[in-house]
Structure 1
Amino acid sequence: MDKNGYNRMKQKTIVLFDLDGTLTVPRNMIKDDMKHTLKKLRSVHEIGIVSGSDLSKLKEQIGNENNFDYILPENGIIGYKNGKQIFANSIQKQLGDETLQTFINYALGYMSKLILPFKRGTFIEFRQGLINIAPPGRNCSQAERDEFEKYDKIHQVRTKFVEDLRQRFSDLGLVFSIGGQISFDVFPKGWDKSFCLQHFDTYDHVYFFGDKTMEGGNDHEIFIHPRTKSFTVVGPEDTQKQIKEIFPVSP
Structure 2
Amino acid sequence: MKKIIGFDLDDTLAITKSPISDRMAGILSRLLEKYDVCVITGGTFQQIKKQVIDRLNVQPELLQRFHAMPTCGTRYYRFDAADNEWKIQYANDLSDEQKTQITTALEEVAREMGIWCDNPAGEIIEDRHSQITMSALGQQASPEDKYAWAEKYKDIRPVYRDKVAEKLPGLEVRIGGTTSTDITLPGIDKAYGIGKLLELNGWSKEDALFFGDKLQEGGNDFPVKQMGVDSIEVRGWEDTAYALEGINAVS
Global fold match (TM > 0.5): yes
8 Å CA contact 2:11, 2:237 repeated in 1:
yes
| Identity score, percent | 25
Q: Which of these residues, 202, 210, 234, is aligned with residue 212 of structure 2?
A: 210
Q: How far, CA to CA, are the matches of 1:40 and 1:217 in structure 2?
A: 29
Report the more deviating stretch, 108-117 or 131-140.
108-117
How big is each residue's C-alpha offset from its partner over 1:151-191, in whole Å with a ceiling of 9 and x where there is no partner? 123xx23211101122333x31x222223221121112222
Aligned to 1:20: 10
Q: Give yes or no for the alignment of 1:59 onto 2:49.
A: yes
Report the CA distance between 1:245 and its aligned residue. Answer: 4.0
Which runs of structure 1 show a deviation greater than 6 angstroms over 4 or more consecutive aligned residues? none
Q: How high is the TM-score relative to the length of structure 2? A: 0.81
8 Å CA contact 1:69, 1:82 repeated in 2:
yes
Report the more deviating stretch, 74-83 or 205-214.
74-83
Q: Give yes or no for the alignment of 1:81 onto 2:81.
A: no
Report the CA distance between 1:35 and its aligned residue. Answer: 1.6
Number of residue-to-residue matches in the alignment: 232
Are the structure 2 counterparts of residues 39 and 102 from structure 1 closer, same or farther at C-alpha, using a change threshold of 3 Å?
closer
Aligned to 1:44: 34
Give the CA RMSD over aligned residues. Answer: 2.4
Report the more deviating stretch, 108-117 or 235-244.
108-117
Q: Give yes or no for the alignment of 1:106 onto 2:108.
A: no
Are the structure 2 counterparts of residues 115 and 34 from structure 1 closer, same or farther at C-alpha, using a change threshold of 3 Å?
same
Aligned to 1:198: 196
Report the CA distance between 1:118 and its aligned residue. Answer: 5.3
Report the CA distance between 1:247 and its aligned residue. Answer: 5.5
Report the CA distance between 1:237 and its aligned residue. Answer: 0.9
8 Å CA contact 1:224, 1:230 repeated in 2:
no
Report the more deviating stretch, 212-221 or 81-90.
81-90
Report the more deviating stretch, 28-37 or 213-222.
213-222
Where 2:187 maps in the other structure, the secondary structure is: coil
8 Å CA contact 2:91, 2:130 repeated in 1:
yes
Report the CA distance between 1:40 and its aligned residue. Answer: 2.5
| Unmatched segments (≥5 aa) in structure 1 | 1-5, 7-11
Q: How far, CA to CA, are the matches of 2:107 and 2:217 in structure 1?
A: 26
Q: How does 1:66-145 map to 2 (within 5 A)?
A: 69-83=66-80, 84-92=86-94, 96-116=95-115, 119=118, 120=120, 121-145=122-146
8 Å CA contact 1:135, 1:158 repeated in 2:
no
Aligned to 1:3: none
How big is each residue's C-alpha offset from its partner over 1:95-154, in whole Å with a ceiling of 9 and x where there is no partner? x4334323321221122234359541422111122110123332423332232122123x
Q: How far, CA to CA, are the matches of 1:163 and 1:127 in structure 2?
A: 21
Q: How far, CA to CA, are the matches of 1:175 and 1:99 in structure 2?
A: 12
Q: How high is the TM-score relative to the length of structure 1? A: 0.81
Are the structure 2 counterparts of residues 134 and 188 from structure 1 closer, same or farther at C-alpha, using a change threshold of 3 Å?
same
Q: Give the letter aligned to residue 219 of structure 1.
A: D
| Unmatched segments (≥5 aa) in structure 2 | 81-85
Where 2:37 maps in the other structure, the secondary structure is: strand
Aligned to 1:157: 156
